Amino acid sequence: MSTPTSPSSAPAPKPLSLGVIFLTLYIDLIGFSIFFPVGPAMLEWYVNKESEGGLLSALVRHLQALASAAHASDLATGALFAGALGSVYSLMQFLFSPVWGARSDRHGRRPILLLTIAGNALSYLLLFFSGSFLLFFAGRILGGIMGGNIAVAIAAVSDVTTRENRAKGMGIVGVAFGLGFLTGPVIGGLTAPFNLLERWPGLAALGVHPFSVPAAIAFTLCLINLVWIKARFRETLPPAARGTGTTTLRDRNPLHSLFRQPDGAIRRVNLVGFVVTFGFSFFESVISFFTADALHYSPRDLTLIFVNIGVVSILTQGVLARRLVPRLGEKPSAVLGMALIGVGFAGLGYAIGIARSVPLMYLMLTISTIGSGFANIALSSLVSLYAGPEEQGKVLGIYRSLGFLARALSPAVAGWLFFNSGGTVTFVIASLVLLTAAALGTGLPRPAK
């Protein structure tokens, strides 16, 4: 592994490039989260539409039979199916994130961003016309493939920040994540009632469906981002700093990196990041079903939860963590953040499932979101600081890809736990996973100055 460059040789920050990167990440997170509030309603619509037969109806009938045998509720059945379906998007990100990262190390960030954002736009176009479940499924697969460009965008942040202000650069990444996680569910929840078929029923012949409006908005945002990058984005990786292109398929395999990575620091932070994301994804997978079951929450109520998460995340990663992580250090900040998430998740299990207390639920949401902000910034900074300048894209791509693998596995596991044991047990287990990650984080080495 190459020796990191000294601070004096690091490139100066480029605000314009950071602005474009911010928008790219923001739109990627909108795509990931836009269907969160309407997932159960979309599933019901597709099941009713394809009730005459097909793969979807067969799967649902099988799950309903399992639910009847296990005395599980319809909400638990929906959580199990949604968890399995939600794994597809992240599985594609897992497979393609290291590919895009390595390609950007060889060819530069700009051409890879242009390619993947155009692909993202196409995926939203497919979703707009996905009158069949098969086309919707294809759109999510394509979106996951192109959504692997998150690693490229984060590598570009590393290109234009020094080692001293790396945490601040990652704070911008965190704000984009928080804002996207806020905007996506809000767009999905507020625009879902606008059914184009009520005014133009003939559009159904083209595949337009009741949930096409959120996809149209995301498609438009992608086009804006594509035009902006084409016109304004300056390449952040000069030719002299690019790799030789000799990366093998094995080198791009995230699992190989986790178990065979020669650099112990990178291997350890990869493991910690995987465990953190695996535990945190429990929340994303079952919170809508847990609150609907225990608190009788509607999609509008659920939108307020994501608004809370987004606002707290923006304030934490954009202000609080950006200032405190450089002072506390990346390693202590990561451990603190993971511990806070663990405490918050245990509190959520109690607040929602036992106390049925909305104020306590929002307090625990705030604690866990603050913890997530610290952990995300600190861990991303550590990965970047452990890697050499010519391999930022590859190393960050593998780190992000392992996170996508965790998101691919976690929804199915969380859905199964919720199906069999309920929300409180699911959140307690998620809490234990995060506390385990915090314990592993204490063994991370401090990055070289």
Return d(Cα 238, Cα 232) in angstroms, integer: 16
Q: Which runs of consecutive H residues, i.e. helices, occur in 193-263?
A: 196-199, 212-232, 249-252, 254-260
Token pair 């692909």 in the structure block, residue:
119
Interacting residues of 217 by C-beta distance below 8 A, sequence separation 6+: 187, 191
Judged against a pLDDT cut of 80, whether residue 427 lies above it is answered with yes
Q: For residues 389-417, give the mean pLDDT.
A: 79
Predicted pLDDT of residue 8: 39
Residue 146 has pLDDT above 70, yes or no: yes
8 A C-beta contact, residue 381 and residue 330:
yes
Q: Which has the closest alpha carbon to 119: 141, 90, 86, 94? A: 141
pTM (two decimals): 0.74
pLDDT confidence of residue 9: 42
Best CA proximity match to 408, nearest among 123, 112, 140 = 140
Looking at the predicted structure, is the pLDDT value of residue 371 above 70? yes
pLDDT band at 10 (very low <50, low <70, confident <90, very high): very low
* pLDDT value for 127: 92
For residue 387, give the 3-state DSSP assignment.
coil
Position of tokens 């996506």? Answer: 184
Q: Where are the domains of the chain?
A: 14-236+253-441
Q: How confident is the model at residue 44 (pLDDT cuts 50, 70, 90)?
A: confident
The pLDDT of residue 149? 79
Is residue 5 over pLDDT 50? no
Residue 7 has pLDDT above 80, yes or no: no
Q: Which CATH class is domain 14-236+253-441?
A: mainly alpha
The percentage of the chain sitting over the pLDDT mark of 90, rounded to a whole number, equals 27
Each residue's pLDDT tens digit, 185-238: 888 878 877 899 999 999 999 999 998 998 898 898 889 888 888 888 888 888
- Is it the case that residue 11 has pLDDT exceeding 50? no
Cα-based distances in Å from 303 to 142, 183, 185, 219, 299 = 26, 10, 6, 21, 6
Over residues 353-382, the mean pLDDT reads: 94
Residue among 149, 159, 143, 142 at smallest CA distance from 112: 149
**238-290: pLDDT as tens digits:** 887 776 545 555 555 556 655 565 567 888 999 999 999 999 999 988 888 88
